[in-house]
Structure 1
Amino acid sequence: EQQQGVRNRRGEFMPSVDLFYSAQNQRDETVMYPEEYHSRGVQLTWNLFNGFGDYYRLLSQKQQHQVAQWQLKEIQQTVQEQVAQTCLLIKQQLQNLEVARHAVQLYEQERHNAQAKFDVGLLTRNDVLKIEVELENARLDVNTAQTMIRQQIAQLQRQTLTAVSLDTLNLDELSQLPQLADQQVLQEQLLTGNRELLALRHVIESATLAHKATRDRYLPRADLISEYSRSEDDYLFDEGDDRDEQVTTQLQLSLNLFDGFKDDANRKQAQLAADRAGYNYREREHELVTQLDNLRRDFVLAHDNLKVAQTNSEQASENLRITRLSFDQGLTTSAELLDAIFYQTRADLNIIEARTAIYSAYFTIQHLTGAFAQTAIQ
């Protein structure tokens, strides 16, 4: 669409060719002209000077074309982030599935042990039922994770318009944690690479050029007009007795002196549009810089949470080992054993959540800084 707009503006620099035909019927007998009269011909009009208005409008339209290009690239970055975030959710649910299956194995093992103790009278039926309840909850977690995986696979297929399966999906890139540059470097990358800001800069330039184009109304206009005409004293072509052929060429200069203050209003309106474009850019730049700063804080916080979760997982694993030994020896209750399994599962899920938060913040930062791979726009 913007390309056609540029093409339209370029047409202002080309001559205009028109065919014309006019017919008259003169009823006044006192006038020495034939009663029936027609004229036909061709007229060529070429604007030689228009106060540089056409030139600036062409440049403004070219800037609008650049705006559209950067907007398309911003859409590409958005889609790439969405695909990355979807892959991240699939990775998270796969890990959640592993944790849920491990919990099922633990509960099944402990139910078997509790059932054996119940059979010899060392545990009550209530202790066995508590473990069975948690076992069913763990199985529900497995089903939930499997359903979420299928949903995210379907979402990924919609985003990429390709057939996707777990067998063909490579998530190895999500195994090693990403690293970020410092805040100053990231901010420089944002200001130079963010597609939205780049588009807004061209909006400012386009509005500035459009404002310059309004000055053409205060300057003279020069047109070269060449016309060939043929007149006959009859409505039908080549049927009249009196024929007249004429070729004229003229240079026409015009200058508007007053137009009801419309020119001044248009110029002020264009100036306001340029000012608004500048305000929009500065406001959006401040919003993106603030968002980038908050995302980097989220990234650092997620790293800290990951360290805490890893330490907590080690402690929960040791606590589960000790509690299972004590339970086998009859020194702890089934409630304490269930708590130990829960703590282990929660610690493992906290690790997964922290890693997911790290990657989620990283992908959004990649989008803001325009760091996703560039692809060709058709």
Structure 2
Amino acid sequence: MKIEKEIKMKNLLIIILFASSLFAQEKILTLKESLEIGLQNSKDLKISKSKLNYADTKLTEINSQFLPQFKLFGNYTRLSDNIPPFEVTMPFSPNPIRISEPILNNYTFKFGFSQPLFTGFKLLSLRNSAKLNLNASEQDYSKEGNEAAFNIYSTYWNYYKTDEIKKVIAQSLQQMEEHLKDTKSFFENGLISKNDMLKLEVQYSNTKLMLIEAENNLEITRIAFNKAIGIDLTSQTKVAASEQSFNYEKYQLADIIDEAVNNRKELKSLAYRFEASKEGVSAAQSNWLPSIYLTGNYYYSNPNPRFQPAKDEFNSNWDVGVTLSWDVWNWGLTSSQVSQAEQTKIQLETNLDQLKENIQMEVYSNYLNLIKTEEKVKVNKEALDQSIENYRITSEKYNTQLATSTDLIDAETLKLQAETNLKTAEVDFQIAKVKLERSLGRVIY
């Protein structure tokens, strides 16, 4: 009795472990879940976020330079023992008069501040530039989110497509097996020649090779999908594609080109960087102007050089002043810096014009591609209906020996090709639809 209980417990444990193993191995993900996981795990998005944080802290750095800078300084110096005392020889005295004993241990502590009053507008230009670069980084981060989402869309639908094509080929192979059984029966009864039977066997083998290729493609697209959503490449994932929608907003080409030019994040980012380059020119030009600082220091020293004669004791004093610094001549250094900043501005302005043209071309191309894929879906649906009907008629004729094995092979090949073409066209349409929305600068996640 005890042994039976142990066996039952072991069997139950095995079942639980097996079930949990299957659950852990296979992950069925919807498109929404894939986007959530992928965006959370995206390395490119994390890098972009880091760049955004960098730009934010750079602005904080520039802002800090508008405020007074406080510094604490400390020093200890030990002089050699051969330092003589400070003595003064007077004409009326035969012996020199000793003013102070040598002080061998020197201590200095200083607490000071420096407040910029005028920097030739350099700090203002740098702050404006940092703000604009921060805005540009925000646009880059938003754009990177769209790019990551589109990559997930593409790999998701391609994974779905290869899985569906594999199912179509497997179904076609199963139908061929049934025809092959009938064909062998026809051959044994002398209704067909061996050559007819061999043709079907060759076609069956070719379809098996297609299935092997489809399984390999499925594995490749699964790995690509896993990579896109940032999980282990060996994870056994599945995609649960919902009912596909073939409806989309009817676009006016001129309107969507304007929308893209107004909405594209990379265009906004580059525009911000172009404006920042103007501030960079102003910052470089500021070196032609003087810089003025308010300074102040508090000293606590032993001996304190401000107190004479020097005494081996701590004394404190302070000072406040205004400092002016002006590069009167630096052998063209400032001119070179200004010229470099202006060339950067020219490059960014040209890049901005190029990007606008490229975006317009991209939108036009994606718009035409969407229309093309929509038409391909319609045509492939008609072709599939025709191939299914052709296959049905040919199969019936073959069963009554009114059609040859070649006719049957041709009908099966046409049907398989039509099914594959339709699956490909449907997925291409889904990707084309999202691709156009992305090129318009719309958020696709």
Normalization by structure 1: what TM-score?
Answer: 0.87
Letter in 1 for 2:425: A
Please name the residue that 1:165 is paired with.
Answer: 237
What are the Cα deviations for residues 160-218 of structure 1, in whole angstroms up to 9, with x where unaligned? Answer: 2357733xx43115354544522223223322322222221121121111112223223
Answer yes or no: is the 8 Å Cα contact 1:54–1:213 preserved in 2. Answer: yes
- Mapped pair 1:260 → 2:331: yes
Moved more, 293-302 or 16-25: 16-25
Structure 1 position 271 matched with structure 2 position 324 = no
Aligned partners of 2:387 and 2:414 also within 8 Å: yes
The residue number in structure 2 matching 1:182 is: 252
- The answer to whether the 8 Å contact 1:177/1:359 transfers is no
C-alpha root-mean-square deviation of aligned residues, in Å? Answer: 2.9
Q: Does 1:193 align with 2:272?
A: no
Distance 1:299 1:139 in 2: 34
Structure 1: segments with no counterpart, 5+ residues = none
After superposition, the Cα gap between the structure-2 partners of 1:366 and 1:319, relative to the gap in structure 1 and judged at 3 Å, is same
Say which structure, 1 or 2, has more relative contact order (CA 8 Å, 6+ apart). 1
Distance 2:314 2:178 in 1: 113
> Structure 1 residue 294: deviation in Å?
1.3
Counterpart for residue 101 of structure 1: 170
How far the C-alpha of 1:65 sits from its partner, in A, is 2.0
Using a 3 Å threshold, how does the CA distance of structure 1 residues 59 and 218 change in structure 2: closer, same or farther?
Answer: same
Q: Is this contact kept in 2: 1:34–1:233, CA < 8 A?
A: no
Q: Provide Cα deviations, 1:104-143, integer angstroms capped at 9, x if missing partner.
A: 2331232122222111111012211211221232233334
Residue 70 (structure 1) shift? 2.1
Task: Evaluate the alpha carbon distance shift between residue 132 and residue 52 of structure 1 in structure 2; reply closer, same or farther with a 3 A threshold.
Answer: same
Counterpart position of 1:345: 416
| Cα pair 1:193 1:369 within 8 Å, conserved | yes
Per the alignment, residue 282 of structure 2 pairs with 212
Find 1:136's aligned residue among 201, 205, 211: 205
**Conserved? CA contact 1:2–1:65, under 8 Å:** yes
Letter in 2 for 1:139: K
Unaligned 5+ segments in structure 2 are 1-53, 89-98
What secondary structure sits across from 1:126 in the alignment? helix
2: CA distance, partners of 1:174 / 1:210: 51
* CA distances 1:205-245 after superposition (whole Å, capped 9, x unpaired): 2111111222322323221111222454499xxx9347654
Shift of 1:159: 2.4
Q: The residue matched to 1:165 in structure 2 has which SS?
A: strand
- Measured in 2, the distance between the counterparts of 1:149 and 1:369 equals 31
Q: CA separation in 1, counterparts of 2:265 and 2:74?
A: 53
Aligned to 1:319: 390
Distance 1:148 1:198 in 2: 39
In 2, the alpha carbon distance for the partners of 1:289 and 1:342 equals 42
330-339 or 84-93: bigger deviation: 330-339
The AA in structure 1 aligned to 2:118 is: F
Could you tell me the percent identity over the aligned residues? 17
- Which of 22, 47, 51 pairs up with 2:116? 47
Q: Which segment drifts farther, 150-159 or 260-269?
A: 150-159
Q: Does 1:3 align with 2:75?
A: no
**1:18 correspondence with 2:87:** no
Change in CA separation of 1:258 and 1:97 when aligned onto 2, cut-off 3 Å:
same
Aligned to 2:47: none
CA distances 1:300-345 after superposition (whole Å, capped 9, x unpaired)? 1222222222222232223223323333343332112211111111
Query: Are residue 88 (structure 1) and residue 160 (structure 2) matched?
Result: no
Letter in 1 for 2:71: D
Question: In structure 1, which of residues 332, 338, 360 is the aligned counterpart of residue 431 of structure 2?
Answer: 360
How far 1:253 moved relative to its partner?
A: 3.1
Q: Which has the larger radius of gyration?
A: 2
Matched to 1:174, the amino acid is Q
Q: CA deviation at 1:28?
A: 11
Q: Per-residue deviation at 1:152? A: 2.8
- Tell me the CA shift for residue 274 of structure 1: 1.1
Q: Which residue is equivalent to 1:156?
A: 225
**Does the 8 Å CA contact 1:230/1:245 hold for their aligned counterparts?**
yes
SS for the counterpart of 1:174 is: coil
Amino acid at match of 1:194: R
CA contact (8 A) 1:14 1:46 kept: yes
Mapped contact 2:129–2:277 kept (Cα < 8 A) = yes
How far apart are 1:38 and its partner, in Å?
5.9
Structure 1 residues 52, 135: CA separation in 2 closer, same or farther (over 3 Å shift)? Answer: same
CA drift of 1:46 comes to: 0.8
Q: Determine the C-alpha separation between the residues in 2 that align with 1:200 and 1:28.
A: 70
> Would the alpha carbon gap of residues 227 and 135 (structure 1) be closer, same or farther in structure 2, given more than 3 Å must change?
same
Distance 1:180 1:159, change over 3 A: farther
- 1:266, distance to aligned residue in structure 2 (A): 1.0
| Deviation, structure 1 residue 58 | 1.3
Aligned residues, how many?
369
Contact 1:80/1:372 (8 A) holds in 2: no
Give the drift of 1:54.
0.5
Q: Which residue of 1 aligns with 2:195?
A: 126
Relative to structure 2, which stretch is displaced further, 87-96 or 30-39? 30-39
**Quick check: 189-198 or 266-275, which moved more?**
189-198
